[in-house]
Chains A and B, each alone.
Chain A
Amino acid sequence: MTKYMDQTGWALTLGLAVLIVVNFFIPEWFRAILLLSLARGSVALGLLVLWRCGLISFGHALFYGFGAYTVALIVKYLGITDVFLTVACGVVVAGGFAWILGFLLRRYRGIFFALLNLAFSMILYGVLAKLESLGSTDGISLEQTTYLWYEPEGAANKTTLFFFAAVMTWAVAMAVHHYLRSTLGYMTTAVRENEIRLEYLGYSAERAIHVKYTISGLVGGFGGAIAAMTIGHVDPDSMAYWPISGDFVFIAILSGTGNVGAPFIGALLYELIRTYAFEQFPGIWQLIMGGTLLLIIMFLPNGLWSLVDRWNQRRKERNRLEARAQEEKA
């Protein structure tokens, strides 16, 4: 295995290949759900980065909203529909704001950090909902997107967007995974475990958190940009309102922090549960969602990924026992 491709790297690449193949066999509604899972999974991935250093944000819809609205506003006011450009702008704007906010937020931990994020996200919501030039609560609709010189039409449009989103998400997940395995990345755990000891080692905990917060914002903005293009419409209620931030925390809890691939699996599962709860229990679907969260917290406190971890451990244990048995035989 090379420096960049470890087990997770191969798994992510396999996941990408699977997505590209299944694209040709799935109904359109399911493709829309997959697209949304990629988008929302990305934001949850941003939460994962923070979570690894023991921080949780109750306001990550802030960056989701920034990403989505940047794309929509660029399309509306500048008439630029090229996805490479619009997504890049969405990511940069969200990341830029994360970097600026980072100077303040890196000084806070625990509930203060979580709630300050919530506060900032609700400021964004308030501004979006009140300003008519930003579409107010009715939101802004996006025009048809283009890919460099390629302008897909009809069914090709969704497929192209799906490929684009899948490849970009793969790249983002790989990058985050690589970062988490770097020295700076491993500091996340150090920050969580013992900040003072980290500082004595000569690193600044605040700076480490600042970098993570910026990465988290970049990834969140990416998710928002993909969501805006998937839906074709942005509005404050589905992009920046506090329950949306709650959804991301839900997905993060559901997936666990074990692996960068987990948030995407969690997001897909979340979308599927929501879809069927919505369909089967139209009046009480929120109750089903809440119940699911409760069950996860009670029985899988480390999220879905703990199932994989457990399986891995059991396999290692078995290998060890087998090895010992062979040794004894020999």
Chain B
Amino acid sequence: MKRVQGRTAVLLASVASVALVAGAASAQTVKMGIPTFLTGAGAPAFGIPAKEGVELIIRGINNGELPAPYNSVGLAGRKIEPLIYDEAGGGTKQVTELRNKVQKDGVDLVVGYISSGTCAAVARVAEEVKVLTLMTVCGTPRVFEELVKKPKYLFRTMSHGTGNNTGAARYIAAKHPELLKDGFIGLNQNYAWGQDSWRDFSLAMKIVAPDVKPARKQQFPKLFSGQYGSEISALLRAKPKVVHSSFWGGDLEAFIAQANARGLFKRKTFILTVGETVAYRLGRKFPEGQIIGTRGPYGMYAVGIDTPLNNWFQKEYRKTYGYPPAQPTYQYAQGILGAKYAYDKAMKDNGGKFPTTDQVIKALEGATYTSLAGTVRMALSNGHQAVTEDRWGVTVWDEKKGEMVVKDVVVFQPECVNPPDGVLSVPWLEGGMQGAKCG
């Protein structure tokens, strides 16, 4: 009995000392909670590349390695202490985790979230627990249009999903009207992201190509089904030459393998709205001549953007991980640069002293900041929702570089594919995209 008591005492003492050390270390850092998919279906295509981007950009910020305008050390001079954790497991778990991170671990801000489902679940909680939250990837416009209409702590540092599908519609209508002769058809996973993507795309098509009709029956296979034999047969038989698909991750890889074997990509042109997520992973097996998007100017579209910041990122990423950075890598890094911009600016406005969260929020609201690929403007929802330009092009294999690249790239300005401030996405599309400015 005595020995057990002794052991318990040692255990308690060590727990206490760990707690003390942890307390001491956090005094002069900014604690950043970073949720991303570390396990499950979202990990290979989104979560892990995102985490790699985060680790690289935080290393750059903490060591002061980044080129201008981010060449100072840390956030407002304090190093980032990242707490990267798993986004898997659904909304309930993420709401609990967000509370844990804020109320137990005392994070100063949260940067991350990939799934729209998670974003919808945590949006109100972030406001409730008053933690500065920069959503990085999730696409659902509902976050600010329905759930948190007057955000204070909540931001999103990339365009929401509507802009991407509007861009897709504009691209196909302008560059390849000949392909649309027989209409177009959809192949989307049967869940919120797939349903929203198809709705936005078909609404946008009604406006940019009013004479073109969608096929009578769309394909909505179930999420993570992995077998697409019957869908491929249906698409081969269908008349339209253009297929819209918001497939991603493992489902997209499986679909490409099965469709390649049956020659589907030779007979149809696909618009893969987030196809770039698997293009580098598949390498040569990714079909050429397909229209792919990245929900902005990220990944493959950022390859050629010649700024010192982007060159540093491309070079260091390829050096560290041995392959090129894809869209989630850029999108997460963009969120962290948003935090860096806001902290640094708030410190400047605060006379060089470390800013409060309220000051950081004020600095980020409605701001325009330089990201790796182009400029981010916090233009919508009271300056809490970002817009960026949207790029579209066609895949082609570059023999010399040994990787997939894009050609025939068209750059759409943010005003061209996003609703103006104060206008909701679906009504904007249904009302004929009033106020869209395409220079």
Contact = CB atoms under 8 A, between A and B. Distances in A.
A227 B121 CA distance: 13
A242 to B, nearest CB: 12
A238 B222 CA distance: 18
B193 A27 contact: no
Contacts of A227: 92
Contact of B192 (A29, A30, A136): A136
Contacts of A239: 90, 92
B319 to A, nearest CB: 24
Most buried by B among A29, A33, A130, A243: A29
Given A136-B192, A283-B39, A32 B93 contact: no
Interface in A230-249: 231-235, 237-239, 241, 243-244
Contacts of B103: 27-29
Given A233-B91, A235-B121, A138 B38 contact: no
Given A138-B140, A232-B95, A238-B89, A279 B121 contact: no
Contact of A286 (B39, B84, B105, B129): B39
A238 B97 contact: no
A138 B85 contact: no
Contact of B120 (A33, A233, A282, A285): A233
A175 B85 CA distance: 40
Main secondary structure of the interface of B (DSSP, over half): helix
Contacts of B100: 29, 275, 279
Given A231-B91, A232-B124, A136 B99 contact: no
B233 interface: no
B120 A139 contact: yes
B86 A237 contact: no
A147 interface: no
A137 B105 contact: no
Contacts, number: 109
Interface string A115-141: 000000000001001101001111101
A33 B96 contact: yes
Contact of B95 (A233, A244, A286): A233
Interface residues of B, number: 38
B121 A139 contact: yes
Interface string B103-128: 11100000000001100110111000
B85 A237 contact: no
Interface in B76-98: 84-86, 89-93, 95-97
A314 B147 CA distance: 56
B324 to A, nearest CB: 24
Contacts of B92: 36, 227, 231, 233, 235, 238-239
Given A244-B90, A279-B85, 17 more contacts: A27-B104, A29-B102, A32-B96, A33-B96, A126-B222, A130-B222, A137-B223, A138-B120, A138-B140, A139-B91, A232-B124, A233-B91, A234-B91, A235-B90, A235-B92, A239-B92, A241-B90
